[in-house]
Structure 1
Amino acid sequence: MTDVSVERRGHIAVVTVHRPPANYFDFALIHDLADAFEGLDAGDCRAAVLAAEGKHFCAGADFGGGGAPGERVDSSRLLYREAVRLFRVGVPVVAAVHGAAVGGGLGLACAADFRVTVAGARFHANFAALGFHQGFGLSATLPRLVGAQRAAELLYTARKLTGEQAVALGLADRLADGADPLPAAMAFADEIAASAPLTVRSMKQTLRAGLADEVAAATERELSEQARLWATEDCAIGIAANLAREVPVFVGR
């Protein structure tokens, strides 16, 4: 069984994550997503939409289950290797972001070429509020999208953005009406699919040249810092406060 489905609609494919309500990911989910997109690359798909079932697009990794920092490092290393595959996808991908794209879930959204969202969505690089380093390649992707200064601000402050704010900053590309971005994401994919497919793929290769390698290097650095910070008192405080929906009070240890 897999929590990823692929539905073809002509030259467009809708790739959907089925882990409602929060769509937390793990190695298996990212592996299945990468397999799904590589399968589309091998066919005649001209554009893909990445969507998610449930209340949120993706809330990242689930830390509610605990686990020793060493176990987290080992599992994250495998997960990041799979994540890099998403950045080598040849078909253009439009992410339909509703609800929350938080932490690694924001990283997943940023792996797509474009993001279509709604006003009520929430984009949140929450790592500093949890007490550990950003991951999922956001060190490479976030500055590309919003610029180095804005990326630093979002990471250092863990500031939440609405869908409207994300579009204004360039983190998202289009704002859809209502609460469901999927129809607008499909319309965007239709526009892409109407263009010459070989040309579009060639353009993507040029525009994103080296990005997968940048993400691979970034995730190595990210994981190294995550491994160090997961073992700190501040990280324990941040995760506990997040689970209890409280404001963390960090101690610098």
Structure 2
Amino acid sequence: MTEDVTVGRVGFVADIVIHRGPANFFDAEVLCRVADLGEQLSAADGVRIIVLSSAGKHFCAGADFGAGSLADDRDRAAAEIYEHGARLFDLPLPIVAAVQGAAVGGGLGLACAADFRVVSRASRFAANFTALGFHHGFGLSVTLPRIVGHQRALDMLVTAQRVDGTEARRTGLADRLVEPGEEHAGALALAEEIAGQAPLAVRAVKRTLRAELAAEVRAALAHELEEQRRLWRTEDSRIGIAAARTRAEPVFTGR
């Protein structure tokens, strides 16, 4: 059986790949493996940058809180997910995310944990949390406003609208726009471009620009999780999650 997370290497570039297609849902185990590999690669000789990608149709649909153990104990599962997700912000190596298909919910959070995002016009991003009846997570309170600005982030988080790759490139959510099917190749190309620069200087620039980010994300995660725990117990959350699983239109009650 293929491992859920694998790593390959081409020259100075390490490629971490999630294998949970087609939607590539993650759990704490997957994010722990990604963070472990990121820490190992950061300490390895000759690795200058990480590409984070997924096999299959979509980049990542986040955590499936309506299924399995995640549905049984969302509070514990989310806390473990965020514990390992926060470790990604401590990595000294730059990360380039190759975003094909959808980056939805926690998948958007994972994409925003990277330093760069490569997309095509077929890519799409959505902070779909309010459509599910609960608060956003994965540090998006910090990362999304940093990337697209406060007002655009508020719009995305409140409306749960989908943003395609072309719009993502226009607003700064994406750093490179390539042809559909070329997202991974485009991410590798950007990674190789960055890896060709002085590696100590690249790390120093990342450290300067993101020095406070890890601490800010951890503080945000604590608040986000508190709000999620509260809202998961509402009728609206039950309605939203059930509607998403059956592809129905939710009718919220405000309770």
TM-score class, shorter-chain normalisation, is over 0.9
Q: Distance in 2 between matches of 1:119 and 1:220?
A: 34
1:84-99 equivalent positions in 2, closer than 5 A: 84-99=86-101
Q: Which secondary structure does the structure 1 equivalent of 2:137 belong to?
A: coil
In the alignment, the residues of structure 1 paired with residue 253 and residue 51 of structure 2 have an alpha-carbon distance, to the nearest angstrom, of: 43
After the TM superposition, which residues 57-76 of structure 1 pair with which residues of structure 2 at under 5 Å, given as runs? Answer: 57-65=59-67, 71-76=73-78
> In the superposition, relative to structure 1, how do residues 115 and 79 fare at CA in structure 2: closer, same or farther (>3 Å)?
same
Contact 2:139 2:217 survives alignment (8 Å): yes
Deviation at 1:48, TM superposition (A): 1.2
Change in 2 beyond 3 A, CA 1:51/1:68: closer
Q: Which residue of 2 aligns with 1:32?
A: 33
Name the counterpart of 1:154: 156
What is the one-letter code of the residue matched to 2:187? A
Cα displacement string for residues 34-84 of structure 1 (whole angstroms, at most 9, x for unaligned residues)? 001101100121111111001110000113316687811111111111111
Deviation at 1:29, TM superposition (A): 0.3
Percent identity between the two aligned chains: 55
Classify the secondary structure of the residue corresponding to 1:87: helix
> Which residue identity does 2:33 align to in structure 1?
D
User: Which structure 1 residue ranges, 5 or more long, are not aligned?
Assistant: none
Q: Is the 8 A contact 2:94 2:115 kept in 1?
A: yes
Specify the alignment match of 2:18 in structure 1.
17
Q: Residues 66 and 15 of structure 1: is their aligned pair in 2 closer, same or farther, counting only changes over 3 Å?
A: closer
Instruction: Quote how far apart the aligned CAs of 1:247 are.
Output: 1.4
Amino acid at match of 2:34: L
Say yes or no: does 1:111 pair with 2:113. Answer: yes
| Corresponding letter in the other structure for 1:199 | A
Tell me, in whole angstroms, the C-alpha distance in 2 between the residues paired with 1:68 and 1:58.
16
User: What is the root-mean-square deviation in Å for CA atoms of aligned residues?
Assistant: 1.3
CA separation of 1:86 and 1:68: change in aligned 2, threshold 3 A: closer
Say whether residues 1:41 and 2:42 are aligned partners.
Answer: yes
Local SS of the residue matching 1:237: helix
| Distance of 1:71 and 1:246 partners within structure 2 | 24
Q: Contact 2:64/2:70 (CA < 8 Å) preserved in 1? A: no
Deviation per CA, 1:83-125: give whole Å up to 9, x if none: 1100011111100000100000000000000000011111000
Larger deviation: 98-107 or 237-246?
Answer: 237-246
Mind listing any 5+ residue stretches in structure 2 that lack a counterpart? none
* Among 152, 169, 182, the residue aligned to 1:167: 169
Report the TM-score, using the length of structure 2 for normalisation: 0.96
Give, in whole Å, the separation in 2 of the partners of 1:210 and 1:91: 16
Structure 1 CA distance for aligned equivalents of residues 84 and 90 of structure 2: 11
* Distance in 2 separating the partners of 1:143 and 1:23: 25
Match of 2:205 in 1: 203
One-letter code aligned to 1:163: G
Letter in 2 for 1:62: D
Q: Secondary structure at the match of 2:215?
A: helix
Q: C-alpha distance in 2, partners of 1:68/1:88? A: 26
Query: Could you say which residue in structure 2 is the equivalent of 1:8?
Result: 9
Question: Is the 8 Å Cα contact of residues 70 and 77 (structure 2) preserved in structure 1?
Answer: no
| 1:183 maps to 2:199 | no
Match of 1:224 among 223, 226, 239: 226
Moved more, 239-248 or 144-153: 239-248
Runs of 4+ in 1 over 4 A off after TM superposition: 66-70
Bigger mean CA deviation after superposition, 179-188 or 30-39: 179-188
Counterpart selection for 2:235 from 233, 236, 242: 233
